[in-house]
Amino acid sequence: MARDSCLARVGAGVAVGGAIGGAVGAVYGTYEAIRYKIPGLMKIRYVGQTTLGSAAIFGLFLGAGSLIHCGKSY
């Protein structure tokens, strides 16, 4: 039972981290694409890459933090 709870917490951490990272990455990618004046459809690719990269990193770290926190008992 505790193992399922821990797995659910880690999964939720990854999901929340991915959502927050995706939102931040989309905003930052849009800003950078406008700032560097990336031409045409390359803006969409740049924003997409930034969004996915940021979502993956945030999700990884929040999932790892949830995994570490899961082993502690208070």
The 10s digit of each residue's pLDDT in 16-47 is 999 999 999 999 999 999 999 999 999 999 99
Sorted by where each begins, the domain ranges of the chain are 18-64
What pLDDT, on the 0 to 100 scale, is given for residue 71? 77
Position 70 confidence tier, pLDDT thresholds 50, 70, 90: confident
* Residue 71 DSSP SS3: coil
What pLDDT, on the 0 to 100 scale, is given for residue 33? 96
66: Cα within 13 Å, side-chain hemisphere: 19
pTM of the predicted model as reported, rounded to 2 decimal places: 0.86
Q: Mean per-residue pLDDT for 44-53?
A: 97
